[in-house]
Amino acid sequence: MSKPLKIGIAGLGTVGIGLINIFNRHDEIIEAKAGRAIQIKAVSARDKNANRGADLSAYQWFSNATEMAASPEIDVYVELIGGEDGIAYDSVVAALKAGKHVVTANKALLAHHGSMLAALAEQHNVALNYEAAVAGGIPIVKTMRESLTGNEVSRVYGILNGTCNYILTLMEQEGRPFDDILKDAQDEGYAEADPTTDIGGFDAAHKLALLTSLSFGTQPSFKDVYIEGIEDITSEDIAAARDLGYRIKLLGMSQMTDSGIEQRVHPAMVPKHSTIAEVSGVTNCVAVKGDFVGDVMLTGPGAGAGPTASSVMGDLIDIARGLVVPPFINPAKDLKPYKNAKTRAHQGGYYIRLDVVDQIGVLAAIATHMAEQKISLKSIVQKLEEGGNTDKEGATIVMITHATLEQSIRDALAAIQKDGHLVGKPQMIRIEQL
């Protein structure tokens, strides 16, 4: 019988305790599947005396995670601290330099430092596994690193943040405004006290940067992800999408073009009866388009103690079996620098909502600016209403465009704003025909 694989866990929040619970419940199953025992030898967290609902007395305690990462007592360092820098970064580097395998759920760390960490892991012939960093319990990293390697990938996209999907789902189902649903999400534990990382699109962008690298053999490049959040989505937008036959989702999308890669996170309208439109609540999904396999979509829980810890355990079992592969499929030295695509026509068109002061000539001026930018309008609807933000009678104008350049849309909206007819900011949402 092979000797046990000894691990140290840094970070004893919901995922860390969830991982310990899996060991406590399934130790015999794990040993049978891994071919040898996997044993927790050490743990580390900020507060040794915190009540975590789990017995940690059998494990060596380290107050310093970096010290534990390099300890001869462990073979694998499990990093569940989070954050792109600080102790998470220092401890993972220490573990790799000490020849320890690393398993992490830290998407920010890898999105910012993935190329360097991959090179360090390969230099020391150890694994850097991160299934839990992308879409929680969905096994998308393993699928792309193993099952789909015979394909040339042209596009990867999905719903990569459960908090945003939960908010948008309830806005549609209950007709309540964004702020009300956000408060509910915080009360239910689906959103943090400071929700900026989630609702601002940054969490999804971290995950997309990793999916892009896996798809196209490039160095992870979070700084090149175009990011929009969902903070400006209104009940009116949700209702308009429904009337037009769409739902609004926060999507992460990356696709290869002739001039480079498009990598973007933003709200989008998707056809109401498409598969991705049916993904509701806190559920995530990831879709990959390969030249031989076609379209593959994986759906499941994107966060939570159980699903995320399950992915961590899968990575540990791979290491116990002796499976060590380059973190981003291609060896780190062969990862290509990321190259942004040139601006090009958006194939699905755009939804545009303008709240305007109801005056003669406003609609004509808007149409003129659109024509100046060679934007073809599929439909235009004007609804009169009592101005919500002014004492004047106002109107809402909703337009749907044919496929056009995004820069043309932005230039037209800038000109319309300059005219002074708008009440508040214009709303622009891409329409994706997925």
Q: Collapsing DSSP states into helix, strand and coil, what is residue 130? A: coil
Q: Which two tokens stand for residue 272?
A: 């109401």
Q: Which of 107, 142, 207, 249 is catalytic?
A: 207
Q: Alpha-carbon distance 299 to 340, whole Å?
A: 28
One-letter amino acid at 299 equals T
Find the length of the chain. 434
The answer to whether 60 and 42 have CB atoms below 8 angstroms apart is yes
Q: E-assigned strands of 281-392?
A: 283-290, 294-301, 345-346, 350-357, 377-386
Spatial CA neighbour of 362 closest among 397, 321, 326: 397
Q: Alpha-carbon distance 173 to 215, whole Å?
A: 34
The answer to whether 423 and 387 have CB atoms below 8 angstroms apart is yes
Spatial CA neighbour of 238 closest among 193, 325, 174, 155: 174
The answer to whether 38 and 23 have CB atoms below 8 angstroms apart is yes
Residues whose CB is less than 8 angstroms from the CB of residue 120 and which lie 6 or more positions away in sequence, other chains included = 93, 96, 97
Q: Collapsing DSSP states into helix, strand and coil, what is residue 86? A: helix
Measured between alpha carbons, how far is residue 8 from residues 46, 213, 386 in Å? 15, 28, 62
Pick left, alpha or beta for residue 42 (phi over 0 → left; psi -120 to 50 → alpha; otherwise beta). beta
289 part of the active site = no
The answer to whether 92 and 119 have CB atoms below 8 angstroms apart is no
Pick left, alpha or beta for residue 99 (phi over 0 → left; psi -120 to 50 → alpha; otherwise beta). left
Phi and psi, residue 167, nearest 5°: -65, -45
Q: Alpha-carbon distance 134 to 102, whole Å?
A: 16
Q: Hey, which residues are catalytic here?
A: 207
